[in-house]
Chains A and B, each alone.
Chain A
Amino acid sequence: MPLDVARIKKDFPILARTVRNEHPLVYLDSAATSQKPVAVMKAESDFYSQHNAAVHRGAHLLAEEATDAYEGAREAVARFIGAKSDEVIFTKSATESLNLLAYSWGNAPSNSRFHLAPGDVIVLSEAEHHANLIPWQELARRSGAILRWFGVDDEGRIDLSNIDSIIDSRTKIVAITHQSNVTGAITPLTSIVAAARSHNALIVLDACQSAPHFAIDVKELEVDFLAFSGHKMVGPTGIGILWGREELLAEMPPFLFGGSMVTAVTMEGASYAAPPKRFEAGVPNMAQAVGLHAAIDYLNAVGMGQIHEHEVALTEYALSGLSSIAGVGIVGPTEIKDRGGVLSFTVEGIHPHDVGQGLDDLGIAVRTGHHCAWPLMKRMGVVATTRASLYLYNEKSDVDALLLGIEKVQSFFGSKGIGR
């Protein structure tokens, strides 16, 4: 059954507003952040108006309710990705989740399996978002470990041809994106996971662009850690998720230190709580966790399978539309196979920033620039791209607006002798 997008749109009040010159908003920037349904805003607001108290502390009713709500959110996330509750750590963002790993492992003593010695190898890909690149660069710098990475082909797909020389016996960590936020390419995980497993390397998956768009089960993925952000999956900002295998989390040293993450404290030292608390120092982002729970309920009610099918069909439609405009070049896979609804493109002779400005003038919100993936841009041979990204509340008419918008931008600049 196709998604009833008209109905879904009604759940997102912002999509009903007009922008520049009274144009109805055409929101095509969900890869940066998604819009929020009323249910999410209401959950956050209800938390503040009815249940607000510091979780895991306080002997009063509100503290109990707040704790239940917060832990309920953790359970919802766990069910969403096929994990156990205690394996889910709340952070402020995927960026923090990835930094948590890099700092925790950087703190690991030399007898720990997480310890990195000079010459150990961290494997990445050229397609990484800076959030899954720089924390590892810094960890390598601090530990003496070496970075290696998979290249990508001309369509931005990860090139596995030299996998045996990239993942070898020195490889301790493989940190890789599930789906590129620039090209939409989905990473061929099976062989990467198999190679990493055979060398006993830890596998970290950046699921920022996948978890919001299709059903994920950590058991099936067979990775060790997963990071994603609530705000890209119709949830609030300020809440991120780190999932890790129970037995691995149990051995990891903490990253942030403070209240709520201890079992005992003296003036000389402290002992640390079991996960997930060990990794959640301080009063957490409670209302945001509760909002995320509502977001997950919302996505589940629509159905992750349905959302995925909808996006595949819409992406296919957008791909064929974009390729039929003369002068438009897709930066990323041109076929629907193993790609998501992130569409980067260039318009011949017109800088992406100018394309984005022209589209904005028509009420169409896209992203322009390097998308926090500078090395990938370089590899793809572009300084910047224009990026349209799709989600459950987009429909064909949004794509049509984009396609028409691009043609209008071409004719505006074309009439001034710019572009074609």
Chain B
Amino acid sequence: MNLESLYQELILDHYKNPLHKGLVSPADASVHHVNPSCGDEVDLNLTIRDGEIQSVSWDGVGCSISQASTSVMSDLVQGRTVDEASQVIDAFMEVMQSKGSTTGDESLLGDAVAFAGVSKYPARIKCALLGWMAFKDALVQLGGYRAKDSGEAK
């Protein structure tokens, strides 16, 4: 099977043992995102202190890709500044839109580079992005997301 390249060990490990799963309350922002094409859902709580991501927690139902991606994301941005987190989101988006042509900058994306293979399957990109879009939304709500190059909250 060719599935090995898509379903990397790291992805399935996160799927089996997701990080930061279970909502931590209270939070500064709570969002609920749904993937309308398959019905998968994620709830995400975000708390920011002094420009740093203090806590990202989530809960949800979904396929291995969406669950693992949310797990990796939540661990990756924990403790980062909002600017760094914005950069990480943008970098991950870029990989997802690359149709498999880039693997991403591991120094920025860490474990998230394991999802590069997903970008070759258009139907699964939304799965990989579900948690990330929820996080971005929460960040935007708190005025934290900085769009690339603009230096301004979007």
Give residues in A with beta carbon < 8 Å to B: 20-21, 351-354, 357-358, 361-362, 368-370, 374, 377, 383-384, 408, 412-413, 416-418
Q: Which residues of B are found within 8 Å of A383, using beta-carbon distances? A: 38-41, 61-62
B31 at the interface (CB under 8 A from A): no
> How far does the alpha carbon of A368 sit from the alpha carbon of B123 in the complex, in Å?
11
| Contact flag A357-B3 (CB < 8 Å), given A369-B39, A383-B39, A384-B38 | yes
CB atoms of A418 and B12 under 8 A apart: yes
Q: Which residues of B are found within 8 Å of A368, using beta-carbon distances? A: 38
Additional A-B contact list (15), CB under 8 Å, known A369-B39, A416-B12 = A351-B64, A352-B38, A353-B124, A354-B63, A354-B65, A357-B6, A358-B1, A361-B2, A383-B40, A383-B41, A383-B62, A412-B7, A413-B7, A416-B9, A417-B16
CB atoms of B15 and A418 under 8 A apart: yes
Q: Which residues of A are found within 8 Å of B3, using beta-carbon distances? A: 357-358, 361, 412
Instruction: Assign chain B's interface to a size class.
Output: 20 to 34
Q: Which residues of A are found within 8 Å of B9, using beta-carbon distances? A: 416
CB atoms of B62 and A351 under 8 A apart: yes
> How far does the alpha carbon of A374 sit from the alpha carbon of B40 in the complex, in Å?
12
B150 at the interface (CB under 8 A from A): no
Please, could you name 25 A-B residue pairs with CB atoms under 8 Å apart, sorted by A?
A21-B2, A351-B62, A351-B63, A353-B62, A353-B63, A353-B65, A353-B127, A354-B63, A354-B65, A357-B3, A358-B1, A358-B3, A361-B1, A361-B2, A368-B38, A374-B39, A383-B40, A383-B41, A384-B40, A412-B3, A412-B7, A416-B12, A417-B12, A417-B16, A418-B16
Give residues in B with beta carbon < 8 Å to A: 1-3, 6-7, 9, 12, 15-16, 37-41, 61-65, 121, 124, 127
> How far does the alpha carbon of A412 sit from the alpha carbon of B124 in the complex, in Å?
19
Complex: chain A residue closest to B40, CB-CB: A383
> How far does the alpha carbon of A383 sit from the alpha carbon of B62 in the complex, in Å?
8
> How far does the alpha carbon of A408 sit from the alpha carbon of B7 in the complex, in Å?
15
